[in-house]
Amino acid sequence: MEKTNVMRILEQKKIPFIPHEVEGNPTDGMTVATLLNAPAYSVFKTLVTVGSDLNHYVFVVPVSETLDLKKGAKAMGVKSIAMLKQKELFPLTGYVHGGCSPIGMKKPFKTCIDETAQLCDTIFFSAGKIGYQIETEPNLLTAAFDFFYADVTVGG
């Protein structure tokens, strides 16, 4: 398995993780969960938004859930947020759709992990490349990075 920048950063911060390679390089989160044989609530996707203040905000939510834009805006302390256009993702973050990780973006953005992650012993998220996933304890992420928890999913 090829080592990604996400893996290098986790190693630098001494955060234990398990790398997973997913066959077929799927970009759909539910497919990734199935191939990992993991419950969908423990597999997370990384979503990038732009706020009414023109700053960018990152959300890490279960693949089975939808980001609630109003809750997300409230969590970030802005009037409103909108999803980033797909064509803007790579220039902004250095990641492609389906391989976006909250770790190792070109520059750090305020990042929120959906509070349901706290119910999981470990969560899975992109290792920064399509077909590569990281499994680690969510509380290690909030301790090592400037990430926080909030209820940001529809109906959550």
What pLDDT is recorded for position 78?
98
Mean pLDDT (whole number) for 86-96: 96
Mean pLDDT (whole number) for 100-113: 97
Residue ranges of domains in the chain:
17-150
Spatial separation of the C-alpha atoms in residues 81 and 74, rounded to whole Å: 9
Q: What CATH superfamily classification does 17-150 receive?
A: YbaK/aminoacyl-tRNA synthetase-associated domain (3.90.960.10)
Mean pLDDT (whole number) for 68-73: 98
Percent of the chain with pLDDT over 70: 99
Spatial separation of the C-alpha atoms in residues 87 and 89, rounded to whole Å: 6
What pLDDT is recorded for position 28?
87
pTM of the model: 0.96
pLDDT at 156 over 80: no
